[in-house]
Amino acid sequence: MDLFFLSLSSIIPCITKDATGRSSNRRSRAGRPRPHDLAPQRTDLRLGRIVRLLMENATVVVSGTKIADEIGTSRSEVWRLAQQLRTLGVEIAGHPATGYQLKSVPDLLLSDMLAPGLKGTIFGADVHRTYHHYYKIGSTNIEAMESASAGAPEGSVFVAEEQTAGRGRGAHQWESAPSAGIYCSVVLRPALPPSDALALSLAAGLAVHSAVEQIDSRVLPDLKWPNDLLLNGRKFCGILTEMNAEATRVRHIVVGIGINVNQTKFPAQLQPIATSLRLVSGTEWSRVELCAALLKSLDREYCDLLEKPGAHESILRRFQERSSTARGRRVRVEENGGFEGVTEGLDPRGFLQVQTAEGLRTVVSGTVRVIDNL
């Protein structure tokens, strides 16, 4: 049942190439029109600006004329946008004759909500141009990969309130509850060889770990190689890293991160293996606060990997320190007919090593399942 979170299709991040490096006319990598999200609509940026303006004037009623002047539109358009926000769950009191006021701060991952927390990062340099929010989309990773192939700049972020075709390991779909989790993909263009992509994926796991601990130090995730994070043995986060590269040069990498934040229940088949930060901590989390912390942590890990000597080794060391399964756990690896053994840490590239009856083996691809403690 290790199947529903964003995860690497294989241990080596997915590498997609063509002769020119160009995108495939908004089609999937398999060449077929994309299901569910053939024409995903980016959220109107004015919605976030209205929310931010109302937040900055929380104690007063803001006239429709003032809002219209601030966002450069008409009062009738302000009314239409306010109605749209209400349908999306934002509690706004008032109407055109009296003005508007927020009844509560919405936990929506809009660019204007995230912008203050992203200053100084590669994700905050031009947030209104590079931050893409969707209320519903098929897959943020598909959209990010297509956009990266079409020239989206490094630091572009693709965030959805809901995914209808979230992707897990292999052909499995990822359960994606509306406005309950963080479904986020980022575009990176590192000056790194393709062989370092696995270290970047492991660094993304460390970034999630750091962000969660920053918000609530009592919650300590367990990293499961290569792309899952667990709480009390159940999965709450997964990472999907996809890459477009030449033999010696990365064109772009998309890192997709899915986090179960405020889910209180899961489909029956997922209940034994899934959890959320809210279920574990007993409290509701701010997705805005967590998403900002995540992107800041990812920025730090990424910049260190590019600029600091020894960063690669540091990632592998810290990953192993924060993983209960990287060493001394009996596992079964579903690869080449399957084999069992005891984990012996990561090799210098970041691949998992497993001691078997026949000797030490390196896991290059396949699902790794923990059997028991030794």
Give pLDDT tens digits for 267-304: 888 888 899 999 999 999 999 999 999 999 999 999 99
CA separation, residue 163 to residues 17, 37, 113, 128, 312 (Å): 26, 9, 20, 22, 33
- What is the structure's pLDDT at 297? 98
pLDDT of residue 175: 67
Q: Which positions of the chain have pLDDT values less than 70?
A: 1-39, 167-175, 373-374
b/e 13-42 (16+ beta carbons within 10 angstroms → b) = bbbeeeeeeebeebeebeeeebeebeebee
172 and 1 Cβ atoms separated by less than 8 Å: no
pLDDT recorded at residue 172: 55
Bridge partners of residue 93, in order along the sequence? 101
* Residue 309, preceding peptide bond in cis (omega within 30° of 0): no
Question: 């984990």: which residue's tokens?
Answer: 343
Q: In the structure, how many helices (H) and strands (E) does the chain have? A: 10, 15
Res 88: pLDDT: 82
- Dist CA 281 CA 217 (whole Å): 11
